[in-house]
Amino acid sequence: MSVVKLDGLVALLEGFPALTGVDLTVNAGEILFVKGPNGAGKTTLLHLCAGLIQPKDGTGLILGHDLSSERTAIRKRVGLLSHSSGLYRDLTVLENITFWTQIAGVEQSEIDSRISWALERMELDSKLQNQKVRSLSAGQIRRTSLAVFIVRRPDLWLMDEPHAGLDQEGRQIVDDLIEESVAAGATAIVASHDFERVLKLSTRVVTLSGGAVVGVEHEGNQ
């Protein structure tokens, strides 16, 4: 079953054609590695798959929902880790993660256990939990964003440079998380510059250039 099915997708950022006709199919359980030079359209592709951009042309299905008309349904089920933290600077780590868990509509009975699981996985100890995001280091902010990301348990993981700003240990945690989630039934699309690391992880590699897929390689660990 394909989780992502894009057919000739064109997307504009203001007047600029960031995506110029993307054909791409991602099957359930895949870890797709998207590589390409800066400005190739990687970030836009992830935003498009998250249902944040109205496509200019082409058709697409994400998790069975139409990309033009059912983007609300798509948004609920995907997770997006982007360059920005997506956090509120003046709230503490714990307040941020609590807010984002509650707003995502997680069952009341499950909230506490999920939050403590996410905090534990990202190794955010109780001292850090009560610090304002404003006062954290870049790596700690990234861990907090990741905690917010995993606490929602999305079906489709869209990750833009997930390793950026993390130390070796943090990068390993991210890799483990992706593998675990995919084993549990999720699908992941990862855009990264960290070739070697993601290559080991991925089931397939596509190269993006000029806003379109220019190469597909079936390599990686399968």
Partner 1 sequence: MTSPITTASKGSKILGMTSIIGFVVLVLLAFFVTDPDIRFHPETGEEFGQFDAVRLLYLHVPMAIVTYLAFVICAIASAGYLVRRTFWWDSMAHAAGEVGTLTCALVLITGSIWGRPVWNTWWEWGDVRLMSTLILFLLFLGYLALRGAFVNPQRAARPAAIVALIAVLDIPLINRSVEWWENRTLHQKSTLSELKIEDLTLFTLMLGILVSVLVMSWLILHRFRVAWLEHIEFEQGVKTAIEERRQVGHGD
Partner 2 sequence: MKRLFADIGLITGKDLKIELRSRVLINQVAPFALMILVLFGIALDADQQSLKNFASGLFWISVLLCALMAISRSMTIERDDEALVGLNLSGVDPIAIFLGKTCAIAIQLLVLEIFLGVGIILLYRSEVEDLWLLVSTGLFACIAVSALGTIFGFLASGLGVRETLLPILLLPLLLPVLIGATRAFDDALGVAAVNGWNWFAFVAGLTVILTAVGAGANHLMAEN
Distance CA 172, CA 192 (A): 15
17 binds, among partner 2, partner 1, none (CB under 5 to 8 A by kind): partner 1
Site for partner 2 in 162-221 (CB under 8 A): none
The tokens for 177 are 């998380």
Stretch that binds partner 1, among 17-25, 87-95, 129-137, 187-195 (CB under 8 A): 17-25
What values do phi and psi take at 158, rounded to 5? -115, 110
- Which of 1, 15, 38, 72 binds partner 2 (CB under 8 A)? It is 72
Stretch that binds partner 2, among 99-107, 113-121, 193-201, 203-211 (CB under 8 A): 99-107
Distance CA 220, CA 30 (A): 11
Element containing residue 184 per DSSP (H, E): none
Minimum distance of partner 2 from residue 134's CB (angstroms): 9
Stretch that binds partner 1, among 26-34, 82-90, 190-198, 203-211 (CB under 8 A): 203-211
Q: Does 169 bind partner 1 (CB under 8 A)?
A: no
- Which of 17, 29, 86, 220 binds partner 1 (CB under 8 A)? It is 17
- Which of 8, 21, 86, 220 binds partner 1 (CB under 8 A)? It is 21
Q: Among residues 148 and 189, whose Cβ is nearest to partner 2? A: 148
Nearest to 211 by CA among 23, 70, 27, 59: 23
- Which of 1, 38, 84, 107 binds partner 2 (CB under 8 A)? It is 84
Quick one: DSSP state of residue 56? S
- Residue tagged 């609590």 (tokens): 98
Q: Among residues 18 and 94, whose Cβ is nearest to partner 1? A: 18
The tokens for 62 are 């994400």
- Write the DSSP assignment of 108-166 as a string of letters: HHHHHHHHHHHHHHTT--HHHHTSBGGGS-HHHHHHHHHHHHHHT--SEEEEESTTTT-
What values do phi and psi take at 142, rounded to 5? -60, -45
Q: Among residues 3 and 205, whose Cβ is nearest to partner 2? A: 3
Q: Does 212 bind partner 1 (CB under 8 A)?
A: yes
Q: Residues 6 or more apart from 20 whose CB is under 8 A from it?
A: 10, 41, 210, 211, 212
List residues binding partner 1 (CB under 8 A): 10, 12, 14-17, 20-21, 37, 40, 56, 209-212, 214
List residues binding partner 2 (CB under 8 A): 14, 50, 52, 54, 69-72, 75-76, 78-80, 82, 84-91, 95, 99-100, 102-105, 132, 148, 152
